[in-house]
Amino acid sequence: MGHARALIYFFECPEGSRRWPDDLLSEDFGFPARSIGLSQEDKDRLNKDLFHLSSLRLRHDAASKPWPHTILNRIHERCVEFVQFFLSPKLPSEISPIKSQWQALLNILQSGHELRITRSFDYNDRDSGWMIGTGRSLGSGLAELTPLIPKHAPLPSFSTTET
């Protein structure tokens, strides 16, 4: 959820309002900043429950503690728009992405499956790089938090695309 909060800032913060001079914002890539449409309740949940030590966290019970999927659904929609923009002729000419990698990401984001990001090391502990792939099918087709897999449970299989 920390990454979710960072992406919200990336997509919503206008260029003149960045907190730090080295912050990256969507407008740095020619993609206009705008609200992703989170409810005030979801914003408060992110701000109070994620990074602040607050007695208000005690208000949750077993039923209300899990994060709502609405937060990730809204971020997912904006991420898809951003990647589509990156693949479009609207992208500023000074930015030259590796389009095949962005297309692979877009395909996964639109697949209705989990996005899995893995990093592997060979037998000599050398970094083999990052890979993206699809995980389990999401019933709703919308973004969800991945449930924790118990240590001794078999890992689900997934396909990979090198990045």
Tell me the DSSP string of 6-75: HHHHHHH--GGG-SSTT---GGGGTPPP------HHHHHHHHHHTT---GGGGG--TTT-SPPHHHHHHH
Nearest of 78, 74, 97 to residue 144 by alpha carbon: 74
Is residue 31 packed enough to be buried (19+ CB in 10 Å), middle (13-18) or exposed (0-12)? buried
pLDDT value, residue 100 = 92
Residue 14 maps to a domain: yes
pLDDT value, residue 31 = 96
pLDDT value, residue 36 = 92
Taking only Cα atoms into account, the Rg of the chain, rounded to an integer number of angstroms, comes to 18
* 44 and 14 co-located in one domain: yes
Residue 24 maps to a domain: yes
Nearest of 153, 116, 110, 144 to residue 131 by alpha carbon: 116
pLDDT value, residue 148 = 56
Q: What dihedral angle (degrees, nearest 10) is formed by the CA atoms of 39, 41, 47, 50?
A: -110
First to last CA, the chain: 23
* 89 and 30 co-located in one domain: yes
Is the pLDDT at 113 greater than 90? The verdict is no
pLDDT value, residue 112 = 87
Give per-residue pLDDT as tens, 125-149: 888 788 888 888 887 777 666 665 5
Give per-residue pLDDT as tens, 44-101: 888 777 776 666 666 766 777 767 778 888 899 999 999 999 999 999 999 988 999 9
Residue 88 maps to a domain: yes
Number of domains in the chain: 2
159-162, strands of its sheet edge to edge? 113-121, 127-137, 159-162
pLDDT value, residue 121 = 80
Residue 89 maps to a domain: yes
Is the pLDDT at 115 greater than 90? The verdict is no
Instruction: Provide the domain limits for residue 61.
Output: 1-97
Residue 8 maps to a domain: yes
Structure tokens at 120: 């592997």
- The arithmetic mean of pLDDT across residues 108-116, rounded, is 87
Place of tokens 């999927």: 69
